[in-house]
């Protein structure tokens, strides 16, 4: 309870401070009242959703997500405005002090706030505020097909030009627009790839979240099949269960559901894709993540049935596994496909110029293609979303990777 009180007090103080910029920038009282009312409604909804209106345990429901997203937008607006106003207030205090001790007047009076600076502060603060609202309204379903060509010296000849589609982090419990998801399914199928991989986090917490979407995702197809692995959210570790049996049953239901949709779920296992005398080895590990994330992945067990000479594609949900274990392994894993980071669902990307997200401070490999020791990884930015119910700058991704045989010049 004390945490809520402290949070409310800070929020209200921030509101009063931001209101000063509005009063300086505009002379219309209705603007102050409307802004204050909206701010209080957003705060009230957030408190309600995360206390009396919340679901049992730590389930992050859609109402909770939107309550968080709206509050995040409001707080971001306030913080940016306050940064500008606070810097001006320091200047105003110094100016008043200088006037008192060195000026012609001995009276201490703080200069009035400059209207121009208040308007600049509000204008700049409106940019991320608008972006966060756009991210919730449109950005979360702004699906992008990102295409990559990767060359390998030892790619089997018959797999030259072999095309892979990868999706990751579906997080079906967050979906709220069936038409948009149907569009994305069609977009995936339009790529006409040879094989389809899903690299974990089908749900937020419970298998039942996926049930309304089974029919749609069953429509996904690829000539050489669909393969999947589990992500950290699929195990149901982030909510309170009535019993360990209920949790285990939930995981089993999710496994069955994946198979119903036509996915070959790899649980520390391997498969071969064959073309005549040539073959690719597919290896799928359960989740392995550094820090406090589940470490159920067993690379040795998953690779036990394959040969060191095989061309290998590894499915591993968390890219920290590649960093910590895979690239240093005795086996050479030519291509690893991961997800997990979502690119934090927020950042700035201009191809060829900039690729930035705060998630880079947590994950060295967080989005796109990387190469280390002659091995590649693609970190998919994710299909869905969780927590903040939107995306800004880091759009939902469908990865299309074409394997190429490197032909060295004579």
CA distance 395 to 131: 13
CA distance 347 to 360: 10
Instruction: Categorize the per-residue pLDDT at 93 as very low, low, confident or very high, splitting at 50, 70 and 90.
Output: low
Residues 6+ apart with CB under 8 A from 279: 156, 272, 273, 310, 311
128-160 pLDDT tens trace: 999 999 999 999 999 999 999 999 999 999 999
- Same-domain pairing of 338 and 207: yes
- Same-domain pairing of 98 and 7: yes
Domains in the chain, number:
2
In the predicted model, is pLDDT for residue 331 greater than 70? yes
- Same-domain pairing of 125 and 93: yes
In the predicted model, is pLDDT for residue 260 greater than 90? yes
Residues 6+ apart with CB under 8 A from 393: 131, 346, 347, 348, 349, 357
Residue 410 covered by a domain: no
Mean pLDDT of 185-195: 98
Domain enclosing residue 106, as ranges: 2-137
- Same-domain pairing of 67 and 199: no
CA distance 345 to 378: 17
For residue 291, what are the β-bridge partners? none
- Same-domain pairing of 63 and 149: no
Q: Is residue 288 a contact partner of residue 166, using CB atoms and an 8 Å limit?
A: no
In the predicted model, is pLDDT for residue 327 greater than 50? yes
Q: Is residue 236 a contact partner of residue 200, using CB atoms and an 8 Å limit?
A: no
Per cent of the chain over pLDDT 70 is 91
Instruction: Categorize the per-residue pLDDT at 103 as very low, low, confident or very high, splitting at 50, 70 and 90.
Output: low
70-80 pLDDT tens trace: 999 999 999 99
Q: Which of 137, 171, 194 is the last residue of a domain?
A: 137
Instruction: Categorize the per-residue pLDDT at 287 as very low, low, confident or very high, splitting at 50, 70 and 90.
Output: very high
| CATH code (residue 204) | 3.60.21.10
- Same-domain pairing of 250 and 130: no
- Same-domain pairing of 130 and 21: yes
4-43 pLDDT tens trace: 899 999 999 999 888 888 888 888 888 888 999 999 999 9
pTM for the predicted model, two decimal places: 0.91
């Amino acid at each position: 309870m004390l945490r809520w009180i402290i949070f409310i007090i800070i929020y209200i103080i921030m509101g009063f401070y931001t209101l000063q910029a509005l009063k300086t920038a505009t002379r219309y009282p209705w603007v102050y009242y409307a802004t204050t009312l909206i701010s209080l409604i957003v705060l009230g909804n957030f408190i309600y959703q995360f206390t009396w209106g919340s679901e049992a345990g730590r389930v992050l429901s859609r109402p909770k997500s939107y309550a968080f997203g709206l509050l995040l937008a409001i707080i971001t607006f306030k913080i940016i405005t306050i940064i500008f106003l606070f810097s001006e207030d320091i200047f105003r205090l110094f100016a008043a002090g200088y006037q008192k001790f060195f000026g012609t007047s001995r009276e201490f009076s703080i200069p009035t706030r400059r209207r121009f600076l208040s308007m600049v502060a509000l204008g700049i603060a409106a940019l991320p505020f608008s972006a966060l609202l756009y991210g919730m309204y449109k950005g979360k379903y702004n699906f992008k097909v990102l295409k990559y060509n990767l060359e390998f010296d030892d790619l089997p000849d018959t797999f030259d030009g072999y095309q892979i589609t990868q999706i990751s982090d579906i997080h079906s419990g967050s979906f709220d627009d069936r038409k948009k998801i149907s569009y994305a399914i069609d977009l995936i199928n339009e790529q006409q790839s040879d094989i389809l991989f899903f690299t974990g986090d089908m749900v937020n917490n419970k298998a039942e979240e996926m049930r309304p979407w089974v029919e749609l995702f069953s429509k996904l197809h690829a000539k050489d099949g669909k393969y999947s692995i589990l992500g950290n959210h699929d195990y149901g570790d982030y909510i309170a269960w009535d019993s360990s049996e209920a949790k285990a049953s939930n995981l089993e239901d999710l496994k069955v559901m994946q198979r119903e949709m036509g996915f070959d779920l790899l649980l520390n296992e391997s498969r071969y894709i064959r073309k005549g005398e040539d073959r690719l080895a597919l290896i799928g590990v359960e989740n392995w993540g550094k820090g406090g994330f589940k470490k159920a992945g067993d690379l040795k067990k998953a690779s036990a049935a394959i040969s060191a000479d095989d061309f290998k594609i590894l499915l591993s949900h968390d890219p920290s596994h590649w960093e910590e274990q895979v690239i240093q392994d005795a086996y050479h894993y030519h291509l690893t496909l991961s997800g997990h980071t979502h690119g934090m669902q927020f950042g700035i990307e201009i191809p060829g110029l900039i690729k930035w997200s705060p998630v880079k401070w947590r994950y060295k490999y967080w989005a796109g293609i990387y190469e280390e020791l002659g091995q590649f990884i693609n970190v998919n930015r994710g299909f869905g979303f969780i927590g903040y119910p939107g995306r800004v700058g880091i759009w939902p991704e469908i990865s299309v990777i074409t394997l190429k045989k490197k032909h060295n010049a004579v």
